[in-house]
Amino acid sequence: MSTAVAEPKTKLNQLEQLKKFTKVVADTADFESIKDFKPQDATTNPSLVYAATQKQQYGQLIDKVLKDRKNSGLSGQAQIEDICDHLLVQFGTDILQIVPGRVSTETDARLSYNVEGSIKKARQLIKLYEERKIPRERVLIKIASTWEGLLASEQLQKEGIRCNLTLMFSLPQAVRAAEAKVQLISPFVGRIYDWYKAHEKRDYKGPEDPGVQSVTEIYTYYKKFGIPTEVMGASFRNTGQILELAGCDCLTISPELMEELSKSEEPVEQKLRPEKAKSEKVEKLQLDEKKFRWMLNDNAMAYEKTGEGIRKFAADVVKLEKYVASKL
């Protein structure tokens, strides 16, 4: 009589374990790395798209967009902006052939204090996706978490255009995003950590990391008050920060850090849980424009990092435009 031998269980790596309680999102515009790690969604921004355009394998994609838009009838800056929009949407469309979920595409950071400009740009990007037969629920439009950006996203959400509020560094920005009923927010971890590390002249690890604490505070507030907006931790400097936020609705992770997680089989513990958040003592924040602006100003880190992030993204838009202009 033969006895069946149980197959030895293969251990899951940390990335696979993380996927059990958090939606993993690729933070890249590089198709190859997205294929490798099988994330649910992907996020891009002008910096990531510009970095990808410098790689040889994406040359034909740029050439295709240029060829298609050469005779658009536009000229000068309008033509360059038109090509950049088509390029961002082309990258997004190709990424959606790989991921089963959604892609985030950024509006022009130079519109961060321009409500009408942000709305117009978002509508244009969605129109380009729909021309490529991509349904709008598979696209998130990324807008900076300024007062104006939040007003624009509130209007866009009413039109069925889903928004991802980026460059978020504080609870008031998250509370206002919840009021605007945005689909998803991207509170940054790494840039908060950078600021405190530079200002306090010390390193942070584990739950004492100020970036981790900021996302935990926002997650707790949302779950406590039953806010449906998704929380997606972003901008990580190391895998320790990611593991401290295991259980967050989504985490957007660079290919380098996804690779690191996939090489470790150490157990991953779910740190964030809705039921735990609901039992926390949290005060509801009442905000109007004056209070929002003051609270953001009063938080030196959030104020500085929001402005710096907008400037950096705007500089990358300009880099992308110069690159397109050189190709024309």
Which residue in 142, 223, 271, 305 is the catalytic one? 142
Whole-number Å distance between alpha carbons of 298 and 22: 32
Whole-number Å distance between alpha carbons of 25 and 250: 7
What is the band of 5 on the pLDDT scale with cuts at 50, 70, 90?
low
Q: What was the pLDDT predicted at 7?
A: 56
* Residue 133 tokens, joined: 């037969």
Mean per-residue pLDDT over the chain, rounded: 95
Rounded to an integer, the average pLDDT of 166-173 is 98
Q: What was the pLDDT predicted at 318?
A: 96
Whole-number Å distance between alpha carbons of 152 and 172: 17
Whole-number Å distance between alpha carbons of 245 and 121: 33
Whole-number Å distance between alpha carbons of 33 and 190: 21
174 near 306, Cβ under 8 Å? Answer: no
- The full set of domains in the chain, from first to last, is 17-327 (3.20.20.70)
243-257 confidence digits (pLDDT tens): 999 999 999 999 999
Q: Classify residue 289 as exposed, middle or buried by CB count within 10 Å of its CB (0-12, 13-18, 19+).
A: exposed
- Whether the pLDDT of residue 266 is over 70: the answer is yes
Whole-number Å distance between alpha carbons of 184 and 174: 10
What is the band of 47 on the pLDDT scale with cuts at 50, 70, 90?
confident
H helix or E strand, kind and range, residue 149: helix 147-158
Q: Is 142 annotated as catalytic? A: yes
Whole-number Å distance between alpha carbons of 26 and 231: 15
- Whether the pLDDT of residue 240 is over 90: the answer is yes
